[in-house]
């Protein structure tokens, strides 16, 4: 073989080996990958926090049933807390008592009222004002109850979203896990193809040196070697991309790849499609979320209508004062507080209109989800039937390629065929094996998709 060609192929294979070795830190079985994804995937963790947030909102809404008890106190220092009457501040009394202006002026000048500054009311330098109050809503309890129901639906929706995210992540892990196994088989097929093209090139080169073949065919065989090497590069790169997506999905801090030992595959019989329609209508996460959204929008209309109800609250307040003149030291104030917006220029009616639109949108969304789910179940069911048919044909093709390989080996050993034909038969059998594995794993993926659609 041409020396430059040998060096080129060695560089390609070495670079791939070094690249994969540097990236892959360990191997995971499917169960280990699923467990890691459920524990480490960021989308799942985000969904968990949403549940906690919605539960906190529900607790907040429940607390509104109970009275509010508030305490407020103010302490202050006043450098001049007394109340004074300054000299002559009451001189106006002379005008009321005496009609003679001359006498008034004489009295004001000689006998001002008062004749000096008088402390009218003494107070303390340090003052304290405190009050304790309790407020209990009455008519607002109906609105609070509606808010509680909405908060409960938010908790339910966040839990459904959490379960839905987990289901999608698990399905994604299975798809990528099996996809990497399929891609690994394609890489092996591409490697066999390279070996075949190398052997074919060697046969062509030998024939040329023996004068049995034009150099044109040698050049063509060399080009096919490079083309096969390019195909190998493509398949290796695609496998590497799958591994990268796999690690991102399972939330791994380091790079893992699936255990390439093929797991035991179970081919459980699939039931009638009507069973999946029924199960999907009851358990599909997207459908259950859409139904909860519809209930929530209906409660939103109820809450908007309750804004027309007057607000009536009970309150009781206890006041304590120290050092503040003209204020009672302590007293109790209790009663009912009534508040009602008579005219809002259509604000509340507009809100009701908005909530009705949201309800209609949720209703249309639910109907859309039902139709979409039925179509997805039907397509998934067809994919399973198609995958079953592919498995049968792929098995037959693989059996035929096995037989072809045995016959080719015998023919090469008997000198009836060139050695390159044995490499071709191996490459063909590797391709048939990859197709058979792809058919079997695609069946598993199709079943997993169907189960995910119906809430399994």
79 three-class SS: coil
Q: How many degrees, rounded to 5, is the angle at CA 244 between CA 238 and CA 249?
A: 125
Per-position DSSP letters for 326-348, written without gaps between them: TS-SEEEEEEEEEE--S--TTHH
Q: Among 123-127, 162-166, 206-210, 245-249, which stretch is predicted with the lowest mean pLDDT?
A: 123-127
Q: Among 98-102, 144-148, 162-166, 348-352, which stretch is predicted with the lowest mean pLDDT?
A: 98-102
Tell me what pLDDT residue 328 has. Answer: 81
Smallest Cα–Cα separation from 303: which of 341, 344, 343, 351? 351
Cβ-defined contacts of 386-389 (< 8 Å, 24+): 386/446, 387/439, 387/442, 387/443, 387/446, 388/443
Indicate whether 94 pLDDT > 80: no
Radius of gyration of the chain (CA): 44
Q: Supply φ then ψ for residue 69, to 5 degrees.
A: -115, 120
Smallest Cα–Cα separation from 438: which of 186, 168, 248? 186
Structural domains in the chain, CATH included, are 3-76+139-311+347-453 (1.20.1600.10), 83-121 (no CATH)
Specify the pTM.
Answer: 0.77
Q: What is the pLDDT of residues 293-329, one digit of tens each?
A: 999 999 999 999 998 889 899 999 999 988 777 778 8
Indicate whether 159 pLDDT > 50: yes
218: confidence class by pLDDT, cuts 50, 70, 90: confident
**d(C-alpha 373, C-alpha 287), whole Å:** 8
Indicate whether 97 pLDDT > 90: no
8 Å CB contact between 9 and 198 = yes
Tell me what pLDDT residue 20 has. Answer: 43
Per the prediction, the chain carries an average pLDDT of 85
8 Å CB contact between 201 and 229 = no
Q: Supply φ then ψ for residue 242, to 5 degrees.
A: -60, -40
Token output for 417: 């065929």
């Amino acid at each position: 073989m041409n020396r430059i060609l040998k060096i080129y192929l060695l560089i390609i294979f070495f670079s791939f080996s070094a690249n994969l070795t540097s990236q892959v830190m360990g191997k995971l079985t499917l169960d280990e990958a699923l467990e890691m994804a459920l524990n480490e995937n960021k989308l799942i963790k985000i969904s968990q926090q949403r549940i906690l947030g919605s539960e906190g909102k529900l607790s907040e809404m429940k607390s509104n049933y109970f009275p509010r008890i508030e305490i407020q106190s103010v302490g202050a220092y006043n450098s001049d807390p007394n109340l004074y009457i300054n000299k002559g501040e009451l001189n106006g009394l002379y005008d009321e008592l005496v009609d003679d202006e001359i006498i008034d002026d004489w009295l004001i000048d000689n006998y001002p009222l008062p004749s000096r500054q008088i402390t009218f009311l003494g107070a303390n330098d340090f003052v304290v004002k405190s009050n304790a109050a309790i407020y209990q809503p009455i008519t607002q309890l109906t609105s609070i109850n509606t808010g509680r129901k909405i908060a409960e639906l938010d908790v339910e929706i966040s839990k459904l979203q959490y379960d839905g995210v987990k289901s999608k992540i698990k399905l994604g892990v299975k798809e990528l896990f099996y996809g990497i196994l399929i891609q690994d088989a394609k890489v092996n097929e591409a490697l066999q193809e390279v070996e075949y093209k190398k052997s074919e090139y060697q046969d062509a080169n030998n024939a040329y040196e023996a004068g049995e073949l034009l150099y044109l065919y040698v050049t063509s065989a060399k080009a096919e070697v490079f083309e096969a090497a390019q195909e190998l590069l493509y398949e290796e790169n695609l496998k590497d991309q799958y591994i990268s997506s796999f690690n991102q999905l399972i939330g791994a801090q380091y790079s893992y790849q699936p255990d390439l030992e093929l797991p035991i595959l179970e081919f459980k019989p699939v039931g009638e499609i009507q069973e999946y329609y029924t199960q999907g209508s009851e358990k599909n996460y997207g459908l259950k979320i859409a139904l909860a959204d519809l209930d929530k929008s209906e409660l939103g209309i109820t809450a908007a209508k309750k804004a027309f109800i007057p607000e009536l609250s009970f309150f009781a307040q206890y006041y304590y004062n120290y050092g503040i003149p003209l204020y009672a030291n302590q007293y109790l104030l209790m009663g009912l507080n009534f508040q009602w917006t008579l005219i809002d220029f259509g604000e509340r009616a507009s809100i009701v209109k908005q909530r009705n639109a949201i309800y209609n949108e949720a209703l249309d969304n639910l109907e859309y989800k039902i139709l979409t789910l039925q179509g997805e179940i039907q397509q998934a069911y067809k994919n399973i039937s198609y995958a079953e048919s592919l498995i049968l044909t792929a098995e037959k093709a693989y059996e035929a390629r096995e037989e072809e390989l045995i016959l080719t080996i015998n023919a090469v050993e008997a000198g009836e065929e060139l050695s390159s034909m044995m490499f071709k038969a191996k490459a063909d059998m590797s391709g048939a094996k990859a197709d058979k594995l792809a058919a079997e794993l695609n069946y598993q993926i199709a079943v997993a998709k169907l189960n995910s659609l119906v809430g399994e």
